[in-house]
């Protein structure tokens, strides 16, 4: 009998399989984010802060003769690495629009209204606290929801929460993030360079043509998408928007249909069985060139029968959750906590606008606007989801960590003190919203 697994491999698998399950668990990314936030805070309030500050501002780039291009490490993370996060977000938005919860008007209206309320009310509350001040431009900060944190907290509740709650919160966060992206593109961009913008649009048009021609090579979209990012970087529109726009062009159609896939795989399986019965010895597949080719054919058939959109989304999910977002947290959550400043958050309009916007604004805006649409019979919730659940989901929507910190960095680029207050307020608000949402859903539903 051919040895498939070595004894050491079998022993390792017993240890590795639970680890793989842990990595795939929805709460894992949230736990890793929390750990990275704590690490960044500890370092920022230790004797190593100067080393941390020097590292995140370290210039990195490319030099070729007299030409050079460089940005600080944090700039590369926020503008470059986060573009992959926005690309994944774009893939999720496209999938939800095509086949997800928000494709049916009856289901879309309540969640879209909830997302709109979750953006409008927080922005209004922030503006009320900061009107006619030098921090008024931060109104976009409390509009965002951190999907990873919110879904992670929801997953902790297990079977106490209906599955429809996850779908509602995910769709809500996706629409919410789409709104935040539009806000970034329109209100938090610099002076627009028409030439760069035109170049990026032509590149995007070429990707649309590739889609229509049936080109499904990841390398094509990666290469042209990188050029779109470069052009967007020089356009004045925030470069991470390129991730969303490139994702829209990714093919959502398989190359072959289900019928072809069934016939092809059945034929390959029969061929493999014939080759296996014709063998005279126990030669492993490594030595059987024809059998190996058949197995490769099955892999090729599976690729042709699936969509690039879904495949690439699956490929990116774990790297984004386990690397990109934690690195973002490490680079941006390192806040040197000034106890005097912390104690004064309750009287600081900027902090109050963010905390009240995220906790109260989201907690009121999301369920209120959802309730209006249901009362007006414009849509309905899934049968297992009640308004009590939506109230808890509204509270969880106040966890704005990733996107809120991202927008605060755009709004207060040259105002270090305001950026520090904003980040502290976001952390406080995210904790309050997370704890409040968990307790409500745990004991009131």
Domain count, the chain: 2
Predicted confidence at residue 23, as pLDDT, reads 44
Same domain, 40 and 172: yes
Q: Is position 178 within any domain?
A: yes
Same domain, 99 and 148: yes
Instruction: Specify the CATH number for the domain of residue 105.
Output: 1.20.1530.10
Q: Tell me how crowded residue 122 is: count the other CB atoms within 10 A of its CB.
A: 35
Same domain, 282 and 382: no
219-273 pLDDT, tens digit each: 999 999 999 999 988 887 777 778 888 999 999 999 999 999 999 999 999 998 8
Q: List beta partners, residue 69.
A: 62
Q: What is the DSSP letter of 377?
A: T
Same domain, 338 and 434: yes
- What number of CA atoms fall less than 13 Å from residue 435's CA on the CB side? 6
Same domain, 156 and 83: yes
- Note the Cα 294 to chain centre separation in Å: 37
Contact 252, 98 (CB under 8 A): yes
Predicted confidence at residue 96, as pLDDT, reads 78
Same domain, 311 and 300: no
Same domain, 275 and 375: no
Same domain, 177 and 311: yes
Q: Is position 86 within any domain?
A: yes
Q: Is position 244 within any domain?
A: yes
Task: Quote the CA–CA distance of 194 and 115 in Å, as a whole number.
Answer: 32
> How far, in Å, are 157, 240, 404 from residue 230 at the CA level?
42, 10, 24
Same domain, 425 and 373: yes
Q: Determine the structural domain holding residue 342 and report its residue range.
A: 28-189+238-253+307-443
Q: List beta partners, residue 70.
A: 61
Q: Is position 13 within any domain?
A: no
Task: Quote the CA–CA distance of 127 and 140 in Å, as a whole number.
Answer: 10
274-301 pLDDT, tens digit each: 888 877 666 666 667 888 888 899 999 9
Task: Name, in order, each residue with C-beta under 8 angstroms of 373's C-beta and a sequence gap of 6 or more.
Answer: 109, 110, 113, 379
Q: Is position 17 within any domain?
A: no
Please state the pTM of the whole predicted model: 0.75
Same domain, 123 and 266: no
Same domain, 269 and 410: no
């Amino acid at each position: 009998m051919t040895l498939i697994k070595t004894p050491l491999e079998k022993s390792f698998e017993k240890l590795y399989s639970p680890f793989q399950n842990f990595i795939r668990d929805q709460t894992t990314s949230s736990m890793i984010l929390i750990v990275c936030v704590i690490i960044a805070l500890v370092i920022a309030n230790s004797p190593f802060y100067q080393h941390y500050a020097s590292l995140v501002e370290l210039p990195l780039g490319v030099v070729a003769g007299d030409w050079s291009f460089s940005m600080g490490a944090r700039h590369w993370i926020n503008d470059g690495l986060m573009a992959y996060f926005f690309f994944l977000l774009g893939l999720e938005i496209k999938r939800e629009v095509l086949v997800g919860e928000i494709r049916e008007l009856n289901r879309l209206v309540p969640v879209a209204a909830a997302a709109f309320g979750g953006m409008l009310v927080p922005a209004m509350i922030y503006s009320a606290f900061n009107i006619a001040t030098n921090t008024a431009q931060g109104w976009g900060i409390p509009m965002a929801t951190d999907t990873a944190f919110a879904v992670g907290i929801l997953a902790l509740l297990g079977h106490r929460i209906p599955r429809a709650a996850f779908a509602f919160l995910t769709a809500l966060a996706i629409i919410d993030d789409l709104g935040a992206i539009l806000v970034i593109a329109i209100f938090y961009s610099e002076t627009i360079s028409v030439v760069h913008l035109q170049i990026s649009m032509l590149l995007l048009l070429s990707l649309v043509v590739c889609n229509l021609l049936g080109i499904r090579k990841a390398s094509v979209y990666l290469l042209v998408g990188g050029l779109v990012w470069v052009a967007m970087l020089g356009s004045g529109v925030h470069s991470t928007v390129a991730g969303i726009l490139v994702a829209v062009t990714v093919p959502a159609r398989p190359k072959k249909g289900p019928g072809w896939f069934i016939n092809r795989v059945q034929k390959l399986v029969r061929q493999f069985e014939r080759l296996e019965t014709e063998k005279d010895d126990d030669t492993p597949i490594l030595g059987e060139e024809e059998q190996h080719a058949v197995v490769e054919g099955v892999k090729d058939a599976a690729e042709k029968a699936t969509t690039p959109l879904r495949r690439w989304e699956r490929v990116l999910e774990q790297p984004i959750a386990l690397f990109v977002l934690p690195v973002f947290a490490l680079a941006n959550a390192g806040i040197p906590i000034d106890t005097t400043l912390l104690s004064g958050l309750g009287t600081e309009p900027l902090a109050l606008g963010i905390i009240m916007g995220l906790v109260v604004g989201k907690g009121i805006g999301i369920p209120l606007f959802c309730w209006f649409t249901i009362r007006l019979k414009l849509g309905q919730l899934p049968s297992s989801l009640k308004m009590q659940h939506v109230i808890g989901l509204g509270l969880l929507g106040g966890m704005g960590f990733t996107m809120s910190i991202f927008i605060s960095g755009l709004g207060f680029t040259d105002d270090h003190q305001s950026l520090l207050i904003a980040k502290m307020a976001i952390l406080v608000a995210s904790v309050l919203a997370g704890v409040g949402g968990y307790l409500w859903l745990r004991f009131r539903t």
